Chain A
């Protein structure tokens, strides 16, 4: 299974490095969201600290949706997904490979956007950078675990771009709230977030397991 998922990950990364479609769209969209919030809301430092985490995750979520839409769209082109299904591989490996690729694409965007967020909202991030990165990983893992599964479902519908956010956003509300709360804690806007950290971890474990177990049925014709 490791060899298969490594091959799927290698393939997705290679295509993305060549086309930069997912990254460029996600990055531009994230920056645009932050710019709009920064210029339309004239926030004081305290307000920026309190609301910044929410703005940051709004940017990440919409950028993530763009990236996830691309994930299975490229498998639908020339029906490549059929090529994967014909291969003698565990279909869970397809899920894990695509999931890892999605996590990497989203994290790269998030890491690139974070310094811009700090500049736009005048927020100090250096002191608790490690904690922010841990939160990004936890939030992104949960979001991608659900997103990879729903991206495979949405890719089989005619209104793929519309279907994915409709399916994805309601289910990811808990992880988004937890991500915002923990990010606010990391930025120093609130004290204590242990409940939200636990929720992030539990959500990640549950939805990754659900995705892995149900993916095979999602792909059936």
Chain B
């Protein structure tokens, strides 16, 4: 991976919440068009890592550079390049599907907002529910809408925190398709998950975060799924 291909560089990230150490020293590089999956048990620090990268946590040790700019000083505009999917939907329950997307479209300054919103609704298979309140949607539909929200502003880097949790088969297939097209367009993804099969499927590189430290990092081409899974299970059993 040459240095001019690197879009995101996180170095020695450390974060403490009171007496709890969430991250000790986590470093990761992400190249243009690369898909990195971070595995780890619950509480390993995956969500904290993604939140720091996304700019949601601003008080931490270490550094995050996006397109060679320090995220701490680069300001809000860098955030436009991120799409973020967390286990919470980040959707307003008392707004309709369309109104939620319109609102987030305005927040991100999306061009031709109405047509972008309608296209997203169609892509996510939510045409029949476009005027329904989010509160009235099933969990799977909410997740689909949440994915639509993350893709709406055409981000360059996608941060996914356990995105397959709670997805029905249709939503999982939509997400798979979106991720494939996203990667093919030269965009980059960091996905955090504890599901080995799901995480491996799209990955170019895999990393394992354990007790706040990246203890394993390998390109997918340098290993096999079976070999990786054996090592992952060994890390989990420590």
A 76-105 to B, binary, CB cutoff 8 A, 1 in contact else 0? 011110111111111000000000000000
Question: Once the chains bind, are B95 and A11 in contact (CB under 8 Å)?
Answer: yes
Residue contact A19 to B94, C-beta cutoff 8 Å: yes
Q: Find the B residue at minimum CB distance from A94.
A: B107
Structural contact, B92 and A11, CB atoms closer than 8 A: yes
Q: How far is the CB of A92 from chain B (nearest CB, A)?
A: 11
Q: A18 CA to B95 CA in the complex, in Å?
A: 8
**Binary interface profile of A, 201-221, with partner B (CB < 8 Å = 1, else 0)?**
000000000000000000011
* Chain B, 190-207, CB within 8 A of any chain A CB: none
Residues in chain A near residue B133, CB distance under 8 A: 18
Residues from chain A with a CB closer than 8 A to the CB of B103 are: 7, 10-11
Least CB separation from B84: chain A residue? A86
Q: Of B57, B80, B93, which contacts A88 at CB under 8 A?
A: B80
Q: How far is the CB of B61 from chain A (nearest CB, A)?
A: 15
User: Which segment of B30-38, B48-56, B117-125, B226-234 sits at the interface?
Assistant: B48-56
**Knowing A82-B88, A88-B80, A220-B58 touch, does A3 contact B106 (C-beta < 8 A)?**
yes
Complex Cα gap A82–B79 (Å):
12
Q: Are B82 and A86 in contact (CB under 8 A)?
A: yes
A14 at the interface (CB under 8 A from B): yes
Contact A79 B107 (CB under 8 A): no
CB distance from A158 to the nearest CB of B (A): 15
Q: Does A134 contact B (CB under 8 A)?
A: no
* Chain A positions 1-54 with a Cβ under 8 Å from a chain B Cβ: 3-4, 7, 10-11, 14-15, 18-19
Cα separation A82 to B109 with both chains bound (whole Å): 17
> Quick one: which of B82, B95, B107 contacts A89, CB cutoff 8 A?
B107
Given contacts A7-B107, A83-B104, A88-B76, contact A18 B88 (CB under 8 A): no
A74 within 8 A of B: yes
- Contacts A4-B107, A78-B90 given: A14-B95 contact, CB under 8 Å? yes
- Cβ–Cβ contact A7 & B56, under 8 A: no
Q: Can you name 11 A-B pairs with beta carbons within 8 Å?
A: A4-B107, A11-B92, A11-B95, A18-B94, A18-B133, A78-B88, A83-B90, A86-B56, A87-B104, A88-B76, A221-B57
- 10 nearest CB pairs, A to B: A83-B90, A87-B107, A7-B106, A88-B80, A79-B88, A88-B79, A88-B76, A15-B94, A78-B89, A221-B57
Residues of B in contact with A (beta carbons under 8 Å apart): 51, 54-59, 76-80, 82, 84, 86, 88-95, 99, 103-104, 106-109, 133, 149
Q: Which chain A residues have a beta carbon within 8 Å of chain B's beta carbons?
A: 3-4, 7, 10-11, 14-15, 18-19, 74, 77-80, 82-90, 220-221
